[in-house]
């Protein structure tokens, strides 16, 4: 329920402020306070205490976390689990101590069980094991739901967990091995074009996924934090679903790449479809969603203009 409440900007603290979603939030709401790991290491309780002492926020948008693609998750499950649990525990503990009125933290659609009845809905989060490729990250993120319920039960905290789907946009991680599908494809296509080599695509391109532009996620999280009293987890996704093959086609067109596209049919693609139920989000009328073509256009322009400094 939107209730149009306004919060003084200097009382809003955003962790993960230099990341994909944090940067998108900063572009739209520049007057809040944005922190990254350069300012405070949130795995360290002393740093987190110092952060809350310095800013004493009434509202916290907690975006920080150890985030990565499949390869990184398979190689570093210990870090993905421990760092996320430490970060979230420290942030919630001090948010409670400093009497933070509203804390919003990010889970991810990968928290859902690998085998589940679709569409994804928040009440299905704990119904089975997450996919084995990122189980450590997924379980750590699931615990946000448990911790928030515990703070609500014991202390009456009305905090909110959000569940974004696949996010893309400027300031993403474009590493060829450790990134998510869209930034990896953009970087690969950029290199294929300048080196005049084929574009290799993991899998056969048939899997269908939901994608959401980072500006849209940032706007929705901001409004949910500052203008609503929702406490149940909310899935943040767009109504747009595309096959990976269609996404590849759009990226290829936007780059003007005319070389060969080689789908690696022998590589696993995961579930064919993973639709999520966004009826609650749509009912809240939090704004329009950026079409994939437009979001990709902005993202690719940004990547080309910022190639030397982009995270990769
Ligand atoms: P990014 O990886 O782009 O940004 C993560 C941020 O977390 C960075 O600013 C990073 O700081 C900060 N961070 C990492 N470790 C620490 C630490 N120990 N102390 C302090 N800060 C730290 O992530 P996104 O913007 O993509 O994601 C935002 C949130 O949304 C995350 O919680 C993620 O799990 C969730 N999410 C993301 C999805 C996606 O597709 N990207 C999908 C679903 C959920 P620095 O910049 O200094 O390294």
Summarize pLDDT for 44-75 with one digit per residue, the tens: 999 999 999 999 999 999 999 999 888 888 89
Residue 114 has pLDDT above 60, yes or no: yes
Of 8, 49, 16, 10, nearest to 35 by C-alpha is 16
Q: Is 193 exposed, middle or buried (0-12, 13-18, 19+ CB in 10 A)?
A: middle
Atom of ligand 1 minimally distant from the CA of 21: 25
* Cβ 217 under 6 angstroms from ligand 1: no
Is the pTM value of this prediction over 0.85? yes
| Cα(40) to centroid(ligand 1), Å | 13
Atom of ligand 1 minimally distant from the CA of 64: 7
Lowest mean pLDDT among 92-96, 169-173, 227-231: 227-231
Q: Active-site residue numbers?
A: 137
pLDDT for the residue numbered 211: 96
| DSSP tag of 70 | H
| Cα(18) to centroid(ligand 1), Å | 8
CB atoms within 10 A of CB 235: 22
Note the pLDDT tens digit of each residue in 171-196.
999 999 888 899 999 999 999 999 99
Which secondary-structure segment (H or E) carries 214? helix 214-227
Of 269 and 304, more confident? 304
pLDDT for the residue numbered 55: 97
Place of tokens 């991680």: 173
pLDDT for the residue numbered 6: 62
224 CA to centre of own chain: 15
Note the pLDDT tens digit of each residue in 236-288.
999 989 999 999 999 999 999 999 999 988 776 677 788 999 999 999 888 78
């Amino acid at each position: 329920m939107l209730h149009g409440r306004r919060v003084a900007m200097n009382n809003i603290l955003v962790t993960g402020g230099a990341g994909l979603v944090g940067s998108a939030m900063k572009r739209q709401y520049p007057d809040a306070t944005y922190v990254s790991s350069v300012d405070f290491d949130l795995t360290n309780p002393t740093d987190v205490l110092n952060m809350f002492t310095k800013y004493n926020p009434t509202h916290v948008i907690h975006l920080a976390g150890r985030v990565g693609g499949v390869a990184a998750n398979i190689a570093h499950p210990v870090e993905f689990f421990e760092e996320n649990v430490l970060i979230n525990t420290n942030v919630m503990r001090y948010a409670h101590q400093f009497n933070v009125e509203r804390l919003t933290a990010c889970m991810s659609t990968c928290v859902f069980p690998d085998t589940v009845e679709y569409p994804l809905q928040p009440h299905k989060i704990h119904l089975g094991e997450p996919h084995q490729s990122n189980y450590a990250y997924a379980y750590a993120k699931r615990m946000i739901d448990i911790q928030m319920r515990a703070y609500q039960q014991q202390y009456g905290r009305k905090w909110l967990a959000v569940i974004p789907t696949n996010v893309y946009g400027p300031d993403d991680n474009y590493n060829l091995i450790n990134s998510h599908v869209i930034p990896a494809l953009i970087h690969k296509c950029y290199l294929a074009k300048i080196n005049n080599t084929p574009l290799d695509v993991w899998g056969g391109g048939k899997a269908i996924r939901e994608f959401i532009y980072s500006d849209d996620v940032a706007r929705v999280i901001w409004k949910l934090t500052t203008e609503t009293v929702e406490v149940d987890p909310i899935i943040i996704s767009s109504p747009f679903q595309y096959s990976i093959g269609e996404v590849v086609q759009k990226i290829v067109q936007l780059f003007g790449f005319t070389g060969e596209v080689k789908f690696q049919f022998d590589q696993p693609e995961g579930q064919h479809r993973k639709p999520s139920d966004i009826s609650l989000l749509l009912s809240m009328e939090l704004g329009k969603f950026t079409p994939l073509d437009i979001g990709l256009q902005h993202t690719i322009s940004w990547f080309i203009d910022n190639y030397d400094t982009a995270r990769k």
